[in-house]
Structure 1
Amino acid sequence: MIHQIGQVMLYVNDQDAAVKFWTEKVGFIIKNEQEEAGMRWIEIAPSKEAQTSFVLHNKEIIAKMHPELNLGTPSIMFYADQIEEMYKDFQAKGIKVGDLVMMPMGRVFNFADTENNYFALVEK
């Protein structure tokens, strides 16, 4: 029986730029980093206690190894507190953000990483 989502694989063009974005701008931490047989993967998460993490993979290498995979970025929604403060903080850090709007689920805004992949953040 599945009881939780463990990791979400993100396939990126520039792993170092992706790590810098997620850690320096969004505030994630690096939980683990490994390199083996020419393949490097970096596990990042919002905190040490987070039950779900991202693993950043090199898109070009994965495409060669598994050409059948869809390497597009999944639609990911983050839950957060103090969304208005986060919205202002993301703007101040130069992160591309959409409007902060009220939806039936709560206040929400979209933001983009350095490769223009969009993510959503909702106040819970």
Structure 2
Amino acid sequence: MINKIGKITVYVEDQEQAKDFWVNKLGFVLKLEQPMGPDFFWIEVGPSGEDEFTTLVLYSKAAMEQHDPSKVSHPSVLFSTTDIDAAYEKMKQNDVKVGEMLRLPFGTMFSFYDQDGNEYLLREDK
């Protein structure tokens, strides 16, 4: 029936700032950018240059609020890494706001925040 997660929408205040955050601070790649009217774009970013992976859609919050205000909420997104310490240091070097490193019996993880203050979690997979 369902064989993969295709896209996760993140509602952002400024699409250019969001694109800069994900591409230049977190090292994601721009997968798609196309106009959707005079004031905003359809922008997709993802964690690698491969053809098959889940993307984040950086969608205009203002545009969605005009269309359907009840849809504007932030999803809980958990990202994975194989080297949590390196990722933590790289984000700090790139001026990404990060939370405390949590080393728990079931995994090591930390929160980080995008340009709009949305919270995400990065967890180490070994």
TM range (shorter): over 0.9
Matching of residue 79 in structure 1 with residue 80 in structure 2: yes
| 1:9-66 deviations in Å (ceiling 9; x for gaps) | 1110000000000001011010011113334110100012251000111110111112
What SS is found at the alignment partner of 1:37?
A: coil
Secondary structure at the aligned position of 1:32 is classed as strand
**Pairwise mapping of residues 105-124 of structure 1 onto structure 2 (< 5 A)?**
105-124=106-125
Q: What TM-score does the superposition give when structure 1 sets the normalisation length?
A: 0.93
SS in 1 for 2:9: strand
Unaligned 5+ segments in structure 2 are none
**Aligned positions, number:** 123
The match for 1:8 is 8
Q: What is the alpha-carbon root mean square deviation over aligned residues?
A: 1.2
Identity %: 36
> What's the offset of the Cα at 1:72?
1.9
TM-score normalized by the length of structure 2: 0.91
Uncovered stretches (5+) of structure 1, i.e. residues with no partner: none
Aligned to 2:21: 21
Structure 1 residue ranges (4+ consecutive) displaced by more than 6 angstroms after TM superposition:
none
Give 1:103 shift: 2.3
Residue in 2 that maps onto 1:95: 96
